[in-house]
């Protein structure tokens, strides 16, 4: 398998980003930003080694910035699991404290 799978947390993050973007900048701009995130997710899905290793958050997690956010991902079943999509100003340490990325993985 190649490509990516969104964890439940990452899916929720995307919904929050879109809601905030729509309320702040309007639907057109929010839609464009989300579209651009999905393009970056496609890139990550086929290049799981890109980005920066973040062993301080989890031994397998890598991060790649996108706009005001960072995509957090890890290898999973021959592809990439997108674990979270967090704002750059968020406390990433706190968000990953005690985090179990497998807890929000979609079932087969």
Residue whose entry in the numeric block shows the structure tokens 């290049």: 47
How far is 9 from 90, CA to CA, in rounded Å?
A: 15
**pLDDT at position 61:** 95
Which residues is 5 bridged to in the sheet? 81
This prediction's pTM: 0.90
| pLDDT range class, residue 1, cuts 50, 70, 90 | very low
pLDDT digits (tens, 9 = 90+) for 28-49: 999 999 999 999 999 999 888 8
Fold that domain 4-91 belongs to in CATH: YaeB-like fold (3.30.2310)
């Amino acid at each position: 398998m190649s490509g990516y799978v969104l964890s439940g947390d990452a899916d929720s993050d995307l919904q929050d980003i879109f809601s905030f973007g729509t309320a702040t900048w309007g639907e057109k701009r929010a839609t464009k930003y989300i579209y651009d995130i999905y393009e970056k997710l496609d890139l990550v899905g086929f290049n799981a080694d890109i980005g920066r290793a973040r062993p301080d958050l989890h031994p397998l997690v890598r991060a790649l910035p996108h706009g005001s956010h960072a995509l957090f991902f890890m290898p999973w079943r021959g592809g990439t699991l997108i674990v979270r999509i967090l704002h750059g100003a968020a406390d990433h340490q706190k968000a990953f404290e005690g985090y179990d990325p497998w807890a929000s993985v979609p079932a087969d």
